[in-house]
Amino acid sequence: MWKSLGLALALCLLPWGRTESQGQSSFCKQPPAWSIRDQNPMLNSSGSVTVVALLQSLINSMRFFLFFCIFPKYFRLEDLRVKLEQAGYLNISYVVVNHQGLSSRLKYMHLKNKVSEHIPVYQQEENETDVWTLLNGKKDDFFVYDRCGRLVYHLGLPYSFLTFPYVEEAIKIAYCEKKCGNCSLMVTISRSVSSSPASGSGLMAQSLEPVSDSVSPSLSAPPPFMLCLSLSQK
């Protein structure tokens, strides 16, 4: 219980964006339109919770070595995707945008090999508008958008380290709660659940029903209502 309260408090204290320069002006707003090689990832993921990660390969880097020394159980984005899918958080879109610099472009395949085919990795061209700059983001930043494409969380280091639970918690909140109000692209079902006799009160929970299910048929996932109810009770 205390752990969950601590996570919620930490997320509440985050400045919704990354720094004061971006502040709350971007919170609950759609990002500036951006595309890479005629692909529009945000448009393609409309109707689903979307996670955009600004990642860069650290191969042959001292920082890469130090990072794995400090965090030997590095939790990759693919691991997080699988974990959430197995828990029943379905129809979440993940997008990785590589840095625009020459060094990063040369290491594109190394970055792409870190994730599975379920997570597209976009490579910016030198003559294109830099997506990182457009989003006011930095390396290892995570942007979490709701089903209507509105920014719910922008997490930067150290909160964006996937060994920490902040990115996962932010995705769950975007999935289950209406931080930015109603969205015409999601179905909301309100149910009243009786609490235990000791509490003497009722609990209202909201179920967010995804547009489609992408989880493997072999997985037995709880319905969205139970997922969001469980999150609200932590």
Residue 16 pLDDT more than 50? no
Mean predicted lDDT score pLDDT of the chain: 74
Is 67 or 109 the better-scoring residue by pLDDT?
109
Q: What is the pLDDT of residue 158?
A: 92
User: Which pLDDT value is given to residue 69?
Assistant: 52
Position 17 pLDDT exceeds 70? no
> Is-contact 176 206, C-beta < 8 A?
yes
pTM here? Answer: 0.73
Q: Cβ of 158: how many Cβ atoms within 10 Å?
A: 10
In this prediction, residue 171 has a pLDDT band, given cuts at 50, 70 and 90, of very high
What local confidence, expressed as pLDDT, does residue 80 receive? 94
**Which residues partner with 53 through β-bridges?**
96, 142
When mean pLDDT is compared across 41-55, 174-188, 193-207, the lowest value belongs to 193-207
Q: Which pLDDT band holds residue 127 (cuts at 50, 70, 90)?
A: confident
What are the domain boundaries of the chain? 2-8+15-176
Q: Domain 2-8+15-176: what homologous superfamily?
A: Glutaredoxin (3.40.30.10)
Residue 229 has pLDDT above 80, yes or no: no
